[in-house]
Chains A and B, each alone.
Chain A
Amino acid sequence: MNKIVNKGTNKFINLSVILLVIALLIRIAGDLLFTLFDYQLNIGDIWTLGLTLFIAVLLFSIFINNNFAVDNLFNKKTVNINDITKIHNQNYFKELNILLISVIILIILNSFIPKDLNYVNIGESVVYKVLSYTIAFVNLVYVVFAMATIFKWFYSHKHKFTLVYLFIISGIIFLFILIEFEIALFNIVNEFIADTINGLLMFFLFVFVFFVNTKNDWITLLPKKDKLKLLFLSFFALLVFGYLFDRNTDSIYEDSLSLAINRFTPGVIGLYYGSYLIAFSYFFKIFFITLFSLPTSNVVDKKSREFNNLKHLNRLIAGEFNLSKLFRTVLELSINQTRSSYAWMELYNGEECDIAQSINLKHEYISELNVYEGKCIFKTIDRPYLCENTNNDVFFKNIGMINQIAGSLISLPIFDAKKRVGSLVLLHRDKFGLDFYNLESMTAFANNVSIAFENSRLMKQSIEHERYKSEMVLARDLQKKLLPSNLPKIKNYSIAAFSFPAQEAGGDYYDVVRLKNGKMAILVGDVSGKGIAAAFIMAQLKGVVHSMAGRSSTGKELLVNINNSIFNNLSKNEFITMSCLILNDENGHINFARAGHTPLIVNEGGSMLYYKPKGIGLGIINNSMFVKNLEEIEIRLENHSVCYLFTDGINELRNSEMEELGFEGMNEMIRLNGHSSAEEINRDIKESLYSYAKDIEQTDDMTLFTLFYQN
Chain B
Amino acid sequence: MKQSNALKIDTVTRDGIELITIEGFLDAHTAPILEKHIETLVNSNRIRIIIDFSALEYISSAGLGVFMSHIEEIRNKGGDIKMIKMTDKVYSVFDLLGFPMLFNLEKNEEEAIFKFNNNIIGGSD
Contacts and interface: CB of A to CB of B under 8 A. Distances in A.
Interface stretch (B13-21, B41-49, B62-70, B108-116): B62-70
Nearest to A652: B60
A624 B2 CA distance: 39
A621 B67 CA distance: 12
Contact of B101 (A573, A575, A599, A614): A614
A697 to B, nearest CB: 6
Interface string B94-110: 00111101100000000
Interface in A590-636: 595-599, 612, 614-617, 620-621, 625, 629
A529 B64 CA distance: 11
B80 to A, nearest CB: 15
A620 B2 contact: no
A616 B102 contact: yes
A648 B63 CA distance: 14
Contact of A616 (B1, B72, B101): B101
Given A572-B68, A572-B69, A526 B98 contact: no
A224 interface: no
Contacts of A574: 65
Interface string B56-84: 00000110111011101000000000000
A658 B57 CA distance: 13
A699 interface: yes
A338 B99 CA distance: 74
A616 B98 contact: yes
A455 interface: no
* B interface, size bucket: 20 to 34
B90 interface: no
A519 interface: no
Contacts of B62: 528-530, 573
A697 B1 contact: yes
A577 interface: yes
Interface in A680-705: 696-697, 699
* A interface, size bucket: 20 to 34
A572 B72 contact: yes
A506 interface: yes
A620 B72 contact: no
- Chain B residues touching A, majority SS: helix
B98 A614 contact: yes
Nearest to A571: B69
Contact of B98 (A530, A620, A696): A620
Contact of B96 (A530, A573, A596, A654): A596
A648 B66 CA distance: 19
A575 B98 contact: no
Nearest to B27: A699
Contact of B61 (A528, A615, A616, A621): A528
Contacts of B102: 616, 620-621, 625
A621 B96 contact: no
Given A528-B61, A629-B101, A575 B2 contact: no
Given A526-B61, A572-B72, A699 B2 contact: yes
Contacts of A504: 2
A614 B95 CA distance: 9
Contacts of B121: none
Contact of B68 (A529, A615, A620): A620
Given A572-B72, A621-B123, A699-B2, A616 B97 contact: yes
Contacts of B68: 572-573, 575, 620
B64 A696 contact: no
Contact of A697 (B2, B98, B99, B123): B2
Contact of A598 (B69, B70, B96): B96
Interface in A417-433: none
Contact of A573 (B2, B65, B123): B65
B33 interface: no
Nearest to B61: A528
Contact of A530 (B1, B28, B64, B72): B28
Contacts of A615: 98
B123 to A, nearest CB: 7
Contact of A577 (B2, B69, B97, B123): B97
Nearest to A656: B1
A625 B123 contact: yes
Contacts of A506: 61
Nearest to B72: A572
B48 to A, nearest CB: 20
Interface string A500-530: 0000101000000000000000000010111
- Among A573, A597, A658, max chain B CB count under 10 A is at A573
A530 B68 CA distance: 17
Contacts of A620: 68, 97-98, 102
A621 B101 CA distance: 11
Nearest to B62: A528
A285 B1 CA distance: 72
A648 B1 CA distance: 17
B118 to A, nearest CB: 21
Nearest to A595: B98
Contacts of B123: 621, 625
Contacts of B69: 572-573
Contacts of B96: 577, 596-599, 612
Interface string A264-287: 000000000000000000000000
Contacts of B99: 616
A527 to B, nearest CB: 9
A625 B99 CA distance: 12
A245 to B, nearest CB: 85
A337 to B, nearest CB: 47
Given A621-B102, A625-B123, A596 B65 contact: no
A648 B61 CA distance: 10
Contacts of A530: 28, 62
B1 A696 contact: yes
Contact of B97 (A596, A599, A654, A658): A596
B93 to A, nearest CB: 9
A128 to B, nearest CB: 102
B26 to A, nearest CB: 12
Contacts of B35: 573
Contact of A575 (B1, B31, B65): B65
Contacts of A617: 97-98
Nearest to A654: B1
A503 to B, nearest CB: 8
Contacts of A526: 61
Interface of B: 1-2, 28, 31, 35, 61-62, 64-66, 68-70, 72, 96-99, 101-102, 123
15 contacts: A504-B2, A506-B61, A526-B61, A529-B62, A572-B69, A572-B72, A573-B35, A575-B61, A596-B96, A615-B98, A616-B98, A625-B123, A629-B98, A654-B1, A696-B1
Given A506-B61, A577-B97, 15 more contacts: A528-B61, A529-B62, A529-B65, A573-B31, A575-B61, A575-B64, A598-B96, A599-B96, A616-B97, A616-B102, A617-B98, A620-B97, A629-B101, A648-B61, A699-B1
Top-6 shortest CB links A-B: A616-B98, A573-B65, A596-B97, A528-B61, A573-B69, A629-B101
Interface of A: 504, 506, 526, 528-530, 572-575, 577, 595-599, 612, 614-617, 620-621, 625, 629, 648, 654, 658, 696-697, 699
